[in-house]
Amino acid sequence: MLFSFRLSIFFIACGVFGIDISKKVFIITILIFVVLTATFTFTYNMQLSNFLELEQADTLKNVKKVQNVVSTEQSYLDNMVQDWACWDDTYRFIEDRNQG
């Protein structure tokens, strides 16, 4: 009821009551299309910006995880290399009895 009243006021203000029914339907169709397009564009842009923020936060979280894994592996390899380096010196001493 309220919508039809507002629509009637719009038609009176625009002088549309003198137009035939096919032109009125065309005008209403265009108005509905414009409103739906504007609404879709607005919501799409809002959702896109929110999605990009979420994706960026998720990417940063994953990068930190990868950095932690690489750091842990580097620490493990450092310990392993130090252990093997001592054994290399021992093996070399057994082989050449500190000859050279």
Which DSSP letter does residue 97 get? T
* Arithmetic mean of pLDDT, 46-61: 89
Q: What is the pLDDT of residue 64?
A: 97
What are the structural domain ranges in the chain?
A: 19-95
Task: Measure CA 46 to chain center.
Answer: 12
- Closest by CA to 7, choosing from 22, 28, 37, 21, is 28
Residues 28-50 as b/e (b if ≥16 CB within 10 A, e otherwise) read eeeeeeeeeeeeeeeeeeeeeee
pTM above 0.85, yes or no: no
pLDDT above 80: residue 38:
yes
Which is higher by pLDDT, 4 or 78?
Answer: 78
